[in-house]
Amino acid sequence: MPYVNIKITREGGTTPEQKEKLIAGATRLLQEVLGKNPATTVVVIDEVDTDNWGIAGQSVTNIRKRQK
């Protein structure tokens, strides 16, 4: 009965199909590596605004601006 939380930046639009793949893939990973029961494996995806995600001391919004 594992619980997996995936946090990603909300950029360019993650599609429902991609989310299905994340959920299926994380569930399969826990089953293959640890034999965990898929039926009770929970996956929660959080999409975070680029203003609210920081790395190296600045927001991703800022990093993306400089990359342009």
- Using DSSP, state whether 16 is helix, strand or coil: helix
Closest among 32, 66, 34 to 50, alpha carbons compared? 66
Contacts by 59-66 with C-beta closer than 8 Å and gap 24+? 60/9, 60/11, 64/11
Shortest distance, CB of residue 14 to its own copies, whole angstroms? 7
Is 16 designated active site?
Answer: no
Closer to its own copies by Cβ: residue 22 or 66:
22
Residue from 57, 66, 67, 68 touching its own copies (CB under 8 A): that is 57
Shortest distance, CB of residue 46 to its own copies, whole angstroms? 7
13 part of the interface to its own copies, by CB under 8 A? no
44 part of the interface to its own copies, by CB under 8 A? yes
Place of tokens 């990603």: 8
